[in-house]
């Protein structure tokens, strides 16, 4: 018989090779268990009548879907149970939440990224970033920049693919097998050949982007393919394979939706994605040209503009 390498074994090898503690393994086991549970809840949601909205808005003023809340509850449960997490920041929680005083890690997450897809059970993602607490002194609970993350990941749901980056080590994808285990690490690196590159942005807002971005689009859009799934997690998934650039710029002078700082959340969307893309050989910046990984958040739910993908392409735009 042929057996595939599991995520757990892959990570164990990495931790032993680098003479690290096994606490990180316990944390990742909790995250993986939560992700499998979220995946199951998502795929059975239509039959269980769980596709609708709850009668409440989140901190960002957006409607909370039943599945958003379920996913948040599942993830919080397993993170707490692991005993490894000092504090979490979740898109679904107004304030940071303390879980275990003795925990070694801070976890920042978006339980279900791509909310407009949720009510249709279309693809979404569970995105997370992990930083270490202060292990040598008193923890001051400052919000970590992406450069301080030790790892980040995205579970794309329901396709059962897990993309995982370890700082300074690389980025890999794992597939959910029939027994419910993530297996077969495959290192990812963005293709440098522009033949397969795609652009991904919401064209409905195009005329509300800055002049600079609008003229870049005019000059460049015919050179590449175009795809937009409406969920950052799944648009990134195409990007990891095909290369190109995803961008969500600042939107101004729009009659209804203005995003003067950009729409996406810095800590659990942009920084999570930026670490993966960096480890896959790419680059992520905001519209001012600041490397996303270098931005220290001032607020837990801070927004940012995002330009992410092959470095030469991102730099030709910003």
Output the smallest distance, CB 304 to ligand F6P, in A: 11
Residue 249: CB atoms within 10 Å: 27
Locus of tokens 């379920």: 70
- Six-digit token string for 280: 């896959």
Locus of tokens 């892959």: 10
Output the smallest distance, CB 160 to ligand F6P, in A: 19
Q: Residue 131, CB half-sphere, CA atoms under 13 Å: how many? A: 24
Instruction: State which residue, 133 or 237, has the beta carbon closest to ligand F6P.
Output: 237
- Six-digit token string for 150: 């030790």
Q: Collapse the DSSP code of 247 into the 3-class scheme (helix H, G, I; strand E, B; otherwise coil) and give the result.
A: strand
Instruction: State which residue, 133 or 263, has the beta carbon closest to ligand F6P.
Output: 263
Output the smallest distance, CB 285 to ligand F6P, in A: 17
Instruction: State which residue, 202 or 206, has the beta carbon closest to ligand F6P.
Output: 202
Question: Is 27 in contact with 85 (CB distance < 8 Å)?
Answer: yes
Question: Is 203 in contact with 251 (CB distance < 8 Å)?
Answer: no
Instruction: State which residue, 160 or 230, has the beta carbon closest to ligand F6P.
Output: 230
Instruction: State which residue, 202 or 302, has the beta carbon closest to ligand F6P.
Output: 202
The answer to whether the bond into 158 is cis (omega within 30° of 0) is yes
Instruction: State which residue, 103 or 114, has the beta carbon closest to ligand F6P.
Output: 114
Output the smallest distance, CB 232 to ligand F6P, in A: 4
Residue 17 sits at φ, ψ, to 5 deg, of -55, -40
Residue 312: CB atoms within 10 Å: 12
Output the smallest distance, CB 26 to ligand F6P, in A: 29
DSSP string, 283-303: EEE-TTS-BGGGPPPSSTT-E
Output the smallest distance, CB 194 to ligand F6P, in A: 23
Torsional class of 253: left (φ above 0), alpha (ψ -120 to 50), beta (otherwise): left
Instruction: State which residue, 78 or 201, has the beta carbon closest to ligand F6P.
Output: 201
Question: Is 292 in contact with 129 (CB distance < 8 Å)?
Answer: no
Instruction: State which residue, 6 or 273, has the beta carbon closest to ligand F6P.
Output: 273
Residue 19: CB atoms within 10 Å: 6
3-class SS string, 186-208:
EECCCCCCHHHCEEECCHHHHHH
Output the smallest distance, CB 177 to ligand F6P, in A: 27
Output the smallest distance, CB 174 to ligand F6P, in A: 21
DSSP state of 2: -
- Residues of this chain that bind ligand F6P (CB under 6 A): 113-116, 202, 230-232, 263-264
Output the smallest distance, CB 52 to ligand F6P, in A: 17
What lies within 8 Å, CB to CB, of 218 at 6+ separation is none
Instruction: State which residue, 145 or 231, has the beta carbon closest to ligand F6P.
Output: 231
């Amino acid at each position: 018989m042929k057996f595939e390498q599991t995520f757990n074994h892959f990570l164990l090898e990495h931790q032993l090779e680098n003479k690290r503690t096994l606490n990180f393994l316990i944390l990742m086991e909790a995250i993986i268990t939560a992700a499998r549970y979220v995946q199951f809840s998502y795929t059975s949601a239509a039959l269980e009548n769980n596709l609708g909205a709850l009668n409440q808005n989140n901190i960002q003023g957006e409607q909370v879907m039943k599945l958003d809340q379920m996913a948040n509850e599942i993830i919080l449960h397993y993170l707490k149970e692991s005993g490894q997490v000092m504090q979490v920041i979740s898109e679904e929680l107004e304030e940071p939440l303390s879980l275990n005083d003795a925990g070694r890690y801070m976890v920042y997450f978006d339980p279900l990224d791509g909310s407009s897809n949720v009510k249709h059970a279309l693809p979404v993602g569970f995105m997370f970033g992990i930083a270490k607490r202060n292990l040598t002194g008193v923890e001051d609970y400052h919000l970590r920049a992406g450069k301080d993350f030790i790892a980040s990941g995205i579970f794309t749901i329901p396709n059962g693919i897990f993309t995982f980056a370890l700082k300074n080590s690389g980025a890999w994808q794992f597939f959910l097998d029939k027994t419910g285990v993530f297996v077969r690490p495959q290192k990812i690196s963005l293709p440098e050949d522009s033949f397969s590159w795609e652009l991904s942005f919401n064209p409905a807002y195009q005329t509300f982007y800055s002049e600079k971005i609008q003229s870049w689009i005019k000059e460049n859009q015919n050179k590449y393919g175009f795809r937009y799934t409406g969920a950052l997690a799944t648009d990134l998934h195409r990007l990891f394979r095909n290369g190109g650039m995803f961008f969500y710029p600042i939107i101004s002078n729009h009659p209804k939706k203005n995003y003067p700082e950009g729409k996406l959340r810095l800590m659990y969307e942009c920084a999570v994605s930026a670490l993966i893309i960096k480890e896959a050989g790419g680059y992520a910046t905001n519209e001012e040209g600041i490397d996303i990984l270098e931005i220290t958040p001032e607020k837990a739910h801070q927004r940012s503009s995002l330009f992410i993908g092959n470095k030469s392409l991102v730099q030709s735009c910003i």
